[in-house]
Amino acid sequence: MPTGTTQRLLKNAPLLLILMAALAVRAAFIHHWGSTLTLGSDDVGYIDSARRLVTDHVFSWWRPRLCPEPALGPSAYTTPGYPLFLSLFIWLFSEEPRALAAARYAQALLMVGSVYLTYLIARRFGGRYAGLLPAALVAFYPPLILINGLLLTETLFAFLLLLFTYHWVKAEPGNTGSYALLGILGAAAALVRPTGALLCFAAFCGLLLALRSRRHPRKAVLRSAAVFFVTFCLVLSPWVIRNALLFHRFIPLSAGGGNPLLLGTYVNLEGIKYGWHPAWPVGKDPMETARLHTALGLKRLERGFRGEFGRYFEWYTRGKFKLLWAKVFLWGGEGKLPCRLAFWYHYTIVALGSFGLVCGLVRRLPGAGQILGLLALFTIVHLVTYAHCRYALPLLPVLASAGAMSLAPRRLSF
């Protein structure tokens, strides 16, 4: 007779095989291509910022196009989460090539964790076996293999986003412990990418809806909201205080939002090359450049909607939506990944997830409204600012997990 441990192993064998295969594929890809994987873009800035954190103990951000002279002083142009992540490996390994290789392999492990979280979320929606398909889709989706080798925020952010989503969909509105954890996870995600603050906004809106429904004790929900807000603020407070002391103004996340706002005002990205336009103003440092970009972006936005309303309306709705959800991120992976397969793979995830989400909403499955609200919030923010398929990568596992809703039995077994 098989023991209890053996039975559990056999029961979870398909999931274990998916996780092991996901790790093996990523390790092989990074081993073969790792040192060649770069965009020469944000990744260069993150590496440089992490290096200065270790050597000079200063958080800074500089890219040649952002100011004429190298700006090596303190900066709040971007959030510190991902440079801190990289700095850990640069501190542990004195040789930078080894440090960056270690960071890539760590990202592969994080993505395997994201595959497991996708399974856990999907299992809540559709049951144990329904969770395997979304997990497998995420495990072998080519852009989610490529992004682990690129030193960008997406891998770390995707893990935190999925960890937040998993705890959110199972949290009771009156459970203060769950919402304390959500506050910590939401703040951590926001420190990696400013859009992570949307997670906390979504959860807070969920608590407001719980107050209106009156299905939970009012005092318990209010207590959860208070604990959630306090833990979120406590995690952010060192960064906010540091910015107030150095720059004498309130910067809760980052001061670099002007660039995506301005970039998004160019219909079909006309005149943009490598994320830049030659007519853009440049300040004495990246933060001043961001302020100039914000002012120009708002001016272009007003002028565009007044002069070419139809064209700009189409761009800020259908045009950017297609860029976000209908394109496949393969930058840096040309010639390294099966591109045609990646396109069909992408559409499969989007179709399956969308169909499952519709089924979940029609059947009023718990969590369906939360997933829809989360995806809608991120989509709206990117429609207002700048939409790119790279920004949808952390959201695709969430959408894939919703596909399990179409397979949900009447009574779920978790």
Lowest mean pLDDT among 277-281, 317-321, 385-389: 277-281
Read off the pLDDT of each residue in 305-329 and give the average, rounded to a whole number.
94
* Paired residues of 391 in beta bridges: none
Lowest mean pLDDT among 103-117, 143-157, 192-206, 268-282: 268-282
Is 207 among the domain residues? no
Q: Do the beta carbons of residue 167 and residue 92 sit within 8 Å?
A: no
Q: What CA–CA distance (Å, rounded) separates 17 from 22?
A: 8
Q: Which amino acid is at 361?
A: L
Closest CA to 80 of 103, 57, 108, 107: 57
Is 197 among the domain residues? no
Is 339 among the domain residues? yes
Confidence (pLDDT) at 309: 93
Is 375 among the domain residues? yes
Q: Tokens 């807070």 identify what position? A: 204
Q: What CA–CA distance (Å, rounded) separates 267 from 318?
A: 12
Residue count of the chain = 414
Radius of gyration of the chain measured on its C-alpha atoms: 22
- Nearest-5° angle of CA 261, CA 262, CA 265? 95
Read off the pLDDT of each residue in 271-280 and give the average, rounded to a whole number.
83
277 in the Ramachandran plot: left (φ > 0), alpha (ψ -120 to 50) or beta? beta
Q: What CA–CA distance (Å, rounded) separates 199 from 205?
A: 10
Q: Tokens 């160019």 identify what position? A: 266
Domain of 99, in residue numbers? 13-171+257-272+281-407
* Paired residues of 276 in beta bridges: 273
Q: What CA–CA distance (Å, rounded) separates 328 from 349?
A: 12
Q: Tokens 């889709």 identify what position? A: 137
**HEC states along 92-161?**
HCCCHHHHHHHHHHHHHHHHHHHHHHHHHHHHHHHCCCCCHHHHHHHHHCHHHHHHHHCCCCHHHHHHHH
Which pLDDT band holds residue 376 (cuts at 50, 70, 90)?
Answer: very high
**Number of C-alpha atoms within 13 angstroms, CB side, residue 327?**
16
Is 69 among the domain residues? yes
Q: What CA–CA distance (Å, rounded) separates 274 from 322?
A: 19
Domain count, the chain: 1
Q: Which amino acid is at 204?
A: F
* Paired residues of 41 in beta bridges: none
Q: What CA–CA distance (Å, rounded) separates 10 from 8?
A: 5
Task: Enter the pTM of the model.
Answer: 0.94
Is 143 among the domain residues? yes
Is 24 among the domain residues? yes
Burial class (CB within 10 angstroms; exposed 0-12, middle 13-18, buried 19+) of 65: middle
User: Is the predicted pLDDT of residue 4 greater than 70, yes or no?
Assistant: no
User: Is the predicted pLDDT of residue 383 greater than 50, yes or no?
Assistant: yes
Q: What CA–CA distance (Å, rounded) separates 301 from 266?
A: 9
- In whole numbers, what is the pLDDT of the chain averaged over residues? 90
Q: What percent of the chain has pLDDT over 70?
A: 96
Confidence (pLDDT) at 255: 87
Read off the pLDDT of each residue in 256-280 and give the average, rounded to a whole number.
87
Is 90 among the domain residues? yes
Q: What CA–CA distance (Å, rounded) separates 148 from 145?
A: 6
pLDDT tens by residue, 49-67: 999 999 989 999 878 788 7
Confidence (pLDDT) at 162: 97
Q: Give the tokens for residue 354.
A: 């969308």
Q: Do the beta carbons of residue 289 and residue 283 sit within 8 Å?
A: yes
Closest CA to 279 of 287, 288, 270: 270
Q: Do the beta carbons of residue 326 and residue 394 sit within 8 Å?
A: no
> What three-state secondary structure class fits 167?
helix
Closest CA to 400 of 10, 122, 6: 122
pLDDT tens by residue, 16-38: 999 999 999 999 999 988 888 88
The angle that helices 132-140 and 339-363 make with each other, rounded to 10 degrees, is 150
